[in-house]
Structure formats: C-alpha cells, structure tokens
Structure 1
Amino acid sequence: MFPQEEETVPKVRFKGFEEEWSLKYVFELLCERNELSPQSPEFPLMAFIANNGIAEKGERYDRSALVNDVINKQYKRTYYGDFIYSSNNLETGSIGLNTYGKATISPVYSIFYCTLNSDSNFVGYCMTRKSFIKEMIKWRQGVMYGQWRIHEKDFLRIKVLVPSLPEQQQIGTYFRNLDQQISLQTQRLEKLKQIKTACLDKMFV
C-alpha cells in the first residue's frame, strides 16, 4: 500500500485512487510543537516507549527521584495525533504517534503536529516504516557517548512520497483499525491465559 523504491504508485490501492503520489518535504506535513508546562491532572507525566507510544511511567522509566522541583519542572505537552521522536540514538530510540491523548513527556523529545495537508494516522505509519527510517539515518550526526542525533531542522527537510489527503485518510484508518483489532485480540488472549492459569491452580493441588 506504499510505493516501492523508484516508484510513485503503490501496487495495492483503495478503489477510486489512481493519481501518482507526490514528493513532499516533512515540513509540509508536520509543524513542531514546543509547549512547555509542569505536569498536571489534565496533562499527566507519561513515558514515550518504542513500539508502545505514550504509556504510564513504570519503575524503569521513572526519573522523578532525580528531579529537585517535581511540581514546577517544565515538560513538553503532547496531544492525540502528535508525531514524536527522540532525536538522540535514533536507531534504538522511540519514534511514533501519540494515540493516548493529552500528556507531558520529557523535553528531550521532538513533538510535531500535522498540517492541514496530512493525516496523523497516515503520517504515524509512513514515518515508522523501514524505508523512512533509512532516509532519516542519512541526516544523523555524531554526538557524545557514541550516540547519534538528527536535528529537527534536518528532519523537516527529509522528502517523502505521499498521496492526496483523502487517500492518506483511507490508509491511516485502515491500519488504525487493524491495530485496534490486534489490541483487542491480545487482550482476549491474555484473559484466556489467566483463566487457564486459574483452572490449573484449582485442578492440581
């Protein structure tokens, strides 16, 4: 459903779409969001975790003990549909879409919101594909401690093939529905495992 290398149309498309995809700069699809505020009940402090997105801080990601002024410390605000990535150590860092909602996260992250020409779900899937990550890595620069960094200005200058907004919306909705089904089936599987464990405990003394 995405064009292959050296191509401008995907092999599989939704009915009614035939035009070629066009090459766009990321800055035509995303704008940086840089809102700072302390954590609050409306904007709770959360973690951004690779492959999981916005999630509650577990012990592994809780750094509150290192903060002298927890109440007034400034964090970055993020909203549902924001695109988030860690510009440090990209190959192993977090990158993806905020599907949680209002939250505050560490200021080390770069946060972007979609322009009127882009669909957040499409952008989230498009910019986590291996081909896009490969393109991003071309812009990386070495920093201390053996890590890499991609500056926001360089990230925004990357080019990516995108279809019209209606086709973006179709693709984004399709993959979002698949993710929701996967999540639902995963929850059902976990419940079945719990039932199995409980039955085994009662059947064998």
Structure 2
Amino acid sequence: MLHIGPGNIESFTGRIYNNVLKVKDSCLISGKFHFNKGDIIYGKINPQLAKYIIADFEGLASADAYVLNAKNGVVQNYLFAVLQTEDFYKYSVSVSARTGMPKINRDELNAYRYKAPGEPEQVKIGIYFRTLDALISQHATQLQKLQQIKSACLERMFV
C-alpha cells in the first residue's frame, strides 16, 4: 500500500506529488491510518498550507493527516469542495493559531459549520468541481510539458 502524508500533497490543489512511497519503503515510525479509494485525506498540521486530496487508491495516511468521510446527508465530493472554500481556509487557520506547531484538532474540524443543499444538488456541485479540478490538472501537465520543450529549445539554441 502507498503511504500519504501532507508532504505528498500539493497546497491548495488537491493533487499528489510524485514522491509517494510504499509503506514498506517509508521507514515509518509514527501512527498511520487506513483509507479507501474516495476518502478525503486532510493535512492537519499547518492548515494554512491547505493540503487535501480525494484518494484514488487505497493506502495508509500519516499521523499528520485526517481521513475524512462525509456523513449525515453530505456527499463526499461536496465535502471536498467545502474544504477548498475561503471560509473553511480562514476558519482552519484561525483555530490552529497556537504556540508551537499550528494544527487543527478533530473537535475543531467537526465544529465547522457550513450550508449544504439537498443530496442531488450536492452531487452536481461535487461533480462540477471535480471535473474542473481534472481540467486544471490536465492543463497544468500540458503547461509543464511546454515549459520543458521551451527550456530544451533554449538550451540547444545557446550552446
């Protein structure tokens, strides 16, 4: 299984870096929490970094992350969209401002209140934003490839 922690998650994007290791290769010493495909992994340390993903595979999350599952009539993709809002960001940063390492604890996370429409509309909202995220990721990948092509061309031109 793969091991995911905040260090594997790109801030503010819901994307995973290419630095993910298997559990057996990670030399883990802290606790870890099982997650399933579709679960939300939320980095609880330094919430100002806004590290969150919806896992597209099964694995283990580090002790520095929460595994979140929507409940009480909330759809998972909608919950993921809520985590990306400016209001949640401000809330998570405000409750984590302590001495030492900023962290949002489970009670503070559960205390966050937000409005949610009925489930059919939540599904539509969740699909819309997940589709938009996929499109953004696709364009980011294309942009990276174009930047590499430009760099290679410039390198060959000025040898």
TM-score, normalised relative to structure 1: 0.59
* Alpha-carbon distance change, 78 to 202 in structure 1, aligned in 2, over 3 angstroms: same
For residue 85 of structure 1, give the secondary structure of its aligned residue in structure 2: strand
151-160 or 191-200, which deviates more: 191-200
The match for 2:45 is 88
Would you say the 8 A contact 1:47–1:56 is kept in 2?
Answer: no
Letter in 2 for 1:164: G
* Alpha-carbon distance change, 139 to 204 in structure 1, aligned in 2, over 3 angstroms: closer
Which consecutive unaligned segments of at least 5 residues does structure 2 have? Answer: none
Cα offset, 1:47, TM superposition: 3.5
Would you say the 8 A contact 1:75–1:104 is kept in 2?
Answer: yes
Structure-to-structure mapping, 1:51-70, within 5 angstroms:
51=12, 52-57=14-19, 64=26, 67=28
Would you say the 8 A contact 1:47–1:55 is kept in 2?
Answer: no
Aligned residues: 152
Note if 1:185 corresponds to 2:142. no
Q: Distance in 1 between matches of 2:40 and 2:56?
A: 12
Of residues 174, 190, 203 in structure 1, which corresponds to 2:128?
174
* Alpha-carbon distance change, 196 to 106 in structure 1, aligned in 2, over 3 angstroms: same
The match for 2:64 is 108
Name the structure, 1 or 2, with higher relative contact order (CA <8 Å, separation 6+). 1
Note if 1:147 corresponds to 2:104. no
Aligned identity (percent) is 26
Note if 1:78 corresponds to 2:61. no
Letter in 1 for 2:68: F
For residue 69 of structure 2, give the secondary structure of its aligned residue in structure 1: strand
Would you say the 8 A contact 2:5–2:43 is kept in 1?
Answer: no
